[in-house]
Amino acid sequence: MSSSFPSVEPSLRGRIGHDARSGYYPVPHRYRLHLALSCPDGLRIAVTHSLLGLDGTLPVTLLPALPDAGDDGYLALRPLYEASSHRHPGPATPPVLSDGWSGRIVSTDPAGILTDLARRFAGPDLSPRGAETAIETVGLLCERSINGPAQRAGRTDTDTAARATALDVLMDGLALIERRLDDRDHLLGEEPTLADVRLWVTLVQLDTVHRWHLDAAAVHRIAEHTRVWAYARRLAGHPAFGRHLALDDIALRHHSRCLGREAAGAAMQIVDWAEHAQPRAQQPG
């Protein structure tokens, strides 16, 4: 009987604290983000970074849509992973927040990175005091009532009843957002918050990725939530959102990973994202 234990990928989930006592603390030009805009996590972090106006404080390195080292991830990230985790057993994947002082990774945890950007660096208040629960609720809604059901509704390896149930859950989630947007431009206040970042990226994924595996009737039902899609278009026109829409990258990532069959909904785009998106010429470097 073997006595060996499986290798465990180390956790790279450091946090940026208030001051020097925390080890990692807010200092201009100390940190760098490494993001792939083809990935929802990367898109969320890029939008948050721009909303906070961190272009001149915390630089961003954009990575190609697909890893250049196959299952090993990105070659450009390998030195950071090796410096942070000797003989790192897993792939070198984004998102990564790195520390220029040590040459190591602070965090690869998207949620932690987002929270630390919003709370530790100066800029608009994207996570208002008292709104933490509401922001978390929106995140759960996006995952459980939009992302997850949309994926299940488009799966061809499940029965018709299961797909129909998933589609109903998706419609209920969109209807809830539709009601929330009845008398407001943003989910929680007068200005965008992390809740809007989360929802907007979810809607981008719904229309540019999940739609490919839904039938025409399903896409028509999704598109009937007019306030939801007007909201998505409006935010796409905001420079902090639209400038990061790498539509070709998103499509490339989707088609490289997806093994499912396309359905009639693939030809029925809800939002003309390219028309509403802002130019990427001002992309942080």
What is the 3 state secondary structure string of the chain? CCCCCCCCCCCCECCCCCCHHHCCCCCCCCEEEEECCCCHHHHHHHHHHHHCCCCCCCCEEECCCCCCCHHHECHHHHHHHHHHCCCCCCCECCCEEEECCCCEEEECCHHHHHHHHHHHCCCCCCCCCCCHHHHHHHHHHHHHHHHHHHHHHCCCCCCHHHHHHHHHHHHHHHHHHHHHCCCCCCCCCCCCCHHHHHHHHHHHHHHHCHHHHCCHHHHHHHHCCHHHHHHHHHHHCCHHHHCCCCHHHHHHHHHHHCCCCCCHHHHCCCCCHHHHCCCCCCCCC
Answer for the pair 107, 32: CB distance below 8 angstroms, yes or no.
Answer: no
234 pLDDT exceeds 50? yes
> Mind listing the pLDDT tens digit for each residue in 179-229?
999 999 999 989 999 999 999 999 999 999 999 999 999 999 999 999 999
Confidence of residue 258 (pLDDT cuts 50, 70, 90): confident
50 pLDDT exceeds 80? yes
Is the domain covering 132-276 a CATH 1.20.950.20 domain?
no
CATH topology of domain 20-120: Glutaredoxin (3.40.30)
* Percent of the chain residues topping a pLDDT of 90: 74
The ranges assigned to domains in the chain are 20-120, 132-276
46 pLDDT exceeds 80? yes
Confidence of residue 11 (pLDDT cuts 50, 70, 90): low
Closest CA to 70 of 260, 257, 261: 257
For residues 164-188, average pLDDT:
96
pLDDT value for 176: 97
For residues 260-264, average pLDDT:
77
pLDDT value for 224: 97
pLDDT value for 263: 78
> Mind listing the pLDDT tens digit for each residue in 61-80?
999 999 998 889 999 999 99
Place of tokens 């490919």: 212
> Mind listing the pLDDT tens digit for each residue in 12-21?
888 998 766 6
For residues 139-160, average pLDDT:
93
> Mind listing the pLDDT tens digit for each residue in 102-135?
999 999 999 999 999 998 998 899 998 889 999 9
Confidence of residue 266 (pLDDT cuts 50, 70, 90): confident
Answer for the pair 12, 85: CB distance below 8 angstroms, yes or no.
Answer: yes
pLDDT value for 89: 83
How far apart CA 52 and CA 117 sit, in angstroms, is: 8
* Percent of the chain residues topping a pLDDT of 70: 92
- The pairing of beta strand 31-35 with beta strand 60-62: parallel
How far apart CA 171 and CA 169 sit, in angstroms, is: 5
282 pLDDT exceeds 50? no
pLDDT value for 4: 35
